[in-house]
C-alpha cells in the first residue's frame, strides 16, 4: 500500500482527496522506518509536516483493522499454532483465498490492465541500492527511468503489465526490506499473539462533507491489495 500511495498521491490530490491516513500495524519507530525506506512523506517524517497530505498512524495490535472488518487470516482463533505456520498456510490460500491468484499474476503479467506504480517503486528501490537492481536504467542525477528492460521483452514487452515485472519488485521488497530489516520491522511478541502477522489490510475513501463511502476494500489475500486505478475511477 505504501508504494502504491507514493505513486498515486498526486492523482488522489487532483481528485480532491486532501486528507489521507496511513495505518500500520507496528510500533512508531518501525512505521517511520518503513515509510522512509519507501520514500513516502508523512506528517511524522517530513520536515514541514503541515504541507504533507499523509498522516501516519500506528495500530500495533491491529484493533482498528479488525473493527473495519479486514481478514484475520488462517485459524485466527487458534492460540496454540505458531503465527509463522499460519502465515505459511496463507501463502497457499488458507484463510486468504486470493493469495495464489495475486502472486501468480505477478509472474505472468497482464496485457490489459496496467499498474504503473510498479516501475516507480522499483526505481526507488534501485536508487536505494536494493537487489534486484538491473530491471531499470536510471538517470544517475534525477533518478528518472531511462529504460525499462521489461518493455524490451519480445512479444510481451508491450503489455500493460509485463511478465515478472511485479514479481521482481516483490523480490526486491522481500530481500532488501523485509528480511534485511526484520529486526527493526518485526512485530513484538504481544503483537504476534494479537494476530497482526496474518492480519490483512484494507482501504476506504470517505466524503468528509457527507460521510458517504466512495470506495471500500478489504484484502482477500496476501498481495491482493486495493487497485488504486479502481479508486480513481470510483471517486471521479
What confidence tens digit (pLDDT) does each residue in 126-156 have? 999 999 999 999 999 999 999 999 999 999 9
What is the tens place of the pLDDT at every residue in 22-75? 999 999 999 999 999 999 999 999 988 777 899 999 999 999 999 999 999 999
The number of beta carbons lying within 10 Å of the beta carbon of residue 42 is 22
- Residue 209, CA distances (Å) to 18, 52, 87, 119 in order: 12, 21, 40, 35
Percent of the chain scored above 90 by pLDDT? Answer: 94
Please give the model's pTM, rounded to 2 decimal places: 0.95
Q: What share of the chain is helix, strand, coil (3-state, %, to 5)?
A: 40, 15, 45
| pLDDT tens profile 217-229 | 999 999 999 999 9
Amino acid at each position: 500500500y505504501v508504494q502504491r500511495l507514493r505513486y498515486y498521491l498526486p492523482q488522489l490530490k487532483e481528485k480532491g482527496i486532501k486528507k489521507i491516513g496511513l495505518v500500520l500495524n507496528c510500533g512508531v519507530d518501525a512505521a517511520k522506518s518503513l515509510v522512509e525506506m519507501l520514500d513516502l512523506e508523512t506528517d511524522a517524517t517530513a520536515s514541514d509536516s503541515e504541507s504533507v497530505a499523509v498522516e501516519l498512524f500506528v495500530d500495533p495490535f491491529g484493533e482498528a483493522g479488525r473493527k473495519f472488518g479486514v481478514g484475520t487470516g488462517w485459524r485466527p482463533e487458534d492460540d496454540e499454532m505458531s503465527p509463522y505456520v499460519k502465515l505459511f498456510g496463507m501463502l497457499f490460500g488458507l484463510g486468504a483465498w486470493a493469495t495464489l491468484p495475486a502472486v501468480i499474476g505477478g509472474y505472468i503479467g497482464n496485457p490489459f490492465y496496467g499498474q504503473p506504480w510498479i516501475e516507480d517503486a522499483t526505481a526507488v528501490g534501485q536508487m536505494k541500492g536494493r537487489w534486484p537492481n538491473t530491471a531499470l536504467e536510471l538517470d544517475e542525477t534525477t533518478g528518472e527511468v531511462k529504460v525499462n528492460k521489461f518493455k524490451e521483452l519480445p512479444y510481451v514487452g508491450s503489455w500493460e503489465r509485463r511478465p515478472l515485472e511485479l514479481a521482481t519488485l516483490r523480490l526486491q521488497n522481500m530481500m532488501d526490506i523485509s528480511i534485511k530489516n526484520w529486526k527493526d520491522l518485526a512485530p513484538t511478541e504481544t503483537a504476534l499473539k494479537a494476530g497482526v502477522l496474518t492480519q490483512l489490510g484494507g482501504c476506504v475513501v470517505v466524503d468528509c462533507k457527507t460521510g458517504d463511502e466512495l470506495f471500500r476494500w478489504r484484502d482477500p489475500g496476501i498481495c491482493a491489495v486495493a487497485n488504486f486505478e479502481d479508486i480513481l475511477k470510483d471517486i471521479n
